């Protein structure tokens, strides 16, 4: 069997993680099996287990994929000559919500209350997202509002908490408003 290059391995991991997100969105975290994911991505269970140890690993990868998308956007916003303020930042985040990803996020939050491995993932991803929001708002306060960097960072922290809370509320609304795709029976 030929060995996969690093780039090919990363593509395969992404393919599996994206299939897992679709399955989690449609079936729920608890009801999604590795067999569902293999059927969704067209790979063998062995191939999936070559890239991920278990379902928690897949949840972590799916969360990282979603977070990476947000990180790219937030990095671009912060690097702009005029980064968006809190209201505009929240509007942009809300406009980018994918209902399937929102459903998986909400399911992950629920599972985190009883599963320590999932809880660790949720806490880590929430902390990272909040830090990215704080950095973007710090850039806005420095570049647009002309605050000193130390003061800007201090002021950005509570703003980031509020933007994060409102964004999470919108994720919940999006997850509840959009029905999952029907599974083929």
List all residues 6 or more positions away from 113 whose beta carbon is below 8 Å from its beta carbon.
119
From residue 23, alpha-carbon distances to 1, 129, 165 in Å are 28, 24, 26
Q: What pLDDT is attached to residue 1?
A: 55
From residue 42, alpha-carbon distances to 16, 45, 136, 168 in Å are 9, 10, 39, 33
The dihedral region occupied by 4, where left means phi > 0, alpha psi between -120 and 50, and beta the remainder, is beta
Q: What pLDDT is attached to residue 185?
A: 39
User: 1-15, 24-38, 71-85, 139-153: which range is least confident on average?
Assistant: 1-15
Please count the other Cβ atoms lying within 10 Å of the Cβ belonging to residue 153.
16
Residue with tokens 């090919």: 8
pLDDT tens digits, 105-136: 888 888 889 988 888 888 988 898 999 999 99
Mean pLDDT for the chain overall: 89
pLDDT tens digits, 45-75: 999 999 999 888 888 888 777 777 888 888 8
**Cβ contact 54:60 at 8 Å:** no
């Amino acid at each position: 069997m030929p060995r996969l290059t690093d780039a090919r391995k990363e593509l395969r991991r992404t393919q599996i993680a994206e299939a897992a997100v679709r399955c989690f969105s449609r079936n729920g975290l608890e009801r999604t099996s590795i067999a569902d994911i293999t059927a969704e991505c067209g790979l063998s269970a062995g191939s999936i287990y070559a890239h991920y140890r278990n379902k928690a690993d897949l949840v972590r990868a799916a969360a990282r994929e979603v977070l990476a998308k947000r990180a790219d956007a937030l990095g671009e916003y912060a690097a702009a000559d005029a980064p968006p303020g809190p209201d505009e930042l929240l509007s942009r985040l809300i406009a980018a919500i994918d209902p399937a990803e929102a459903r998986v996020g909400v399911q992950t939050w629920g599972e985190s209350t009883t599963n320590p491995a999932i809880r660790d993932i949720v806490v880590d991803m929430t902390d990272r997202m909040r830090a990215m929001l704080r950095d973007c708002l710090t850039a806005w306060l420095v570049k647009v509002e002309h605050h000193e960097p130390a003061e800007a960072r201090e002021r950005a922290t509570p703003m980031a908490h509020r933007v994060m809370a409102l964004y999470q509320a919108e994720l919940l609304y999006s997850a509840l408003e959009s029905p999952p795709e029907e599974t083929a029976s």
